[in-house]
Structure 1
């Protein structure tokens, strides 16, 4: 049924149909029966009138809260990042849901105390803790800026044949390694790695 036609009907109007057409509300548990009458305010008559209420609507009104509250809280501080990656919306939504679930748990654990944080304060605390976390330092390929003393001496360092691997300096394949350092090196890269060049 078209929304324009439904809007012209009186409040509480519903039509039951069992087909594949689009519906406003659906359930795999409840049906529209038993139908009961409830009092609702009518703008046209400017008073409370009796209307019919299907069972499925009554059950929804009775148990609503969890998903609706979650959607409302999720929308309050939703990340505004845009990306062309297909997975970004899923990831940011899952991350946002985890923060909201943690905040709800915080609210339940601190019901008796006065140190409950608002949703915004809770997000700020998480951000502060993440900013103060120890950063992950990725090691860069190639020689270090300052080699240890033991590597800057040539005594005991020489190349021998080994299985193929990556050179520690230029990252190309090579079949030589330093006996003491156990690093694969080309003959031309050996002096620069040990600080001899």
Structure 2
């Protein structure tokens, strides 16, 4: 005769879970007879019942049920309660600000860039760089915020005209004047190796558990600046990961998603262009330079959005290359004083390849001065009111009025401007 099956005993918590899950007593009895081990909780209950089983000579009613012991390291299961109720759709109307041409004024590339990289961020970077260089080498590099901006501008110009290495911009055969004339090579390399974003002496051990603790202040500030930008109605934060082949009626939300999808791919494509890969042993420096390119791309996208709101044509709108070129010039020249030229005869090869043209059929040493066309100066450089001094030069046409001829030239803008009692184009050009 088979032994009688003992009735299962449950605690109050087990009974409540059975009621909430909707399991009946019949289902539980069927589960007890099942020999499979699919339900781990049932095995635990059986083991606890064996341990707490009373002797046969005393009635079972005199004993109190003991709750099964649970492992403290076991993660609790998520409990869900399904309710039958009408679905209330959330409000999906766009609650942001509408971007119209009435409330928008077009800014310069430098002003768009400063929406993401502020002056306070550069000042903090300058202070930490000086402290880090003193802690490491015993002497400070004594850099300034303007010099850090020049480094940013040189980096952006390197992205426009890329070479195999950063030292090639100063070498004789491959010298690139827009970069090499800003600062000496050794000074540029010294600043690159000394760039720092946090004071190592004041960081706690808890903060050092973060893998990006050396870059965390810069990343937090950069994120705060990005969140201050007015968002658009349609934003792409992820792409489709799975492909389906079922023919169903397309919902409206899917059509809207397919129309505005691709933002992540576009951002990756924009950041890959005009980005110079500066080599560094500090791995987090690659993330830092990536944030600089992100700031340039976001600034250009804001510029394009404002141009679209102002209904400007595509010819009037700067492309990414033109925008980055003007931004680099502004970072280098705005609020910058002119460097005093060194005395003596210039060494061979110091001239820019753009200004050293070799005429065909002439000897190799024979050089011809090319016709120089004045480049379009950023408004930030013209209006900074720093180091714009008049100097006498050859007679030429005025850049401002285009009618008069003058021999007065701006030492910083490198353009001829009328400067007399009757006409003062020099003042109008720098203040319009």
**TM-score bin (small chain):** 0.3 to 0.5
TM-score, normalised to structure 2, is 0.19
Which structure is higher in RCO with an 8 Å CA cutoff and minimum separation 6? 2
- More strand by proportion, 1 or 2? 1
- More helix by proportion, 1 or 2? 2
Structure whose alpha-carbon radius of gyration is higher: 2
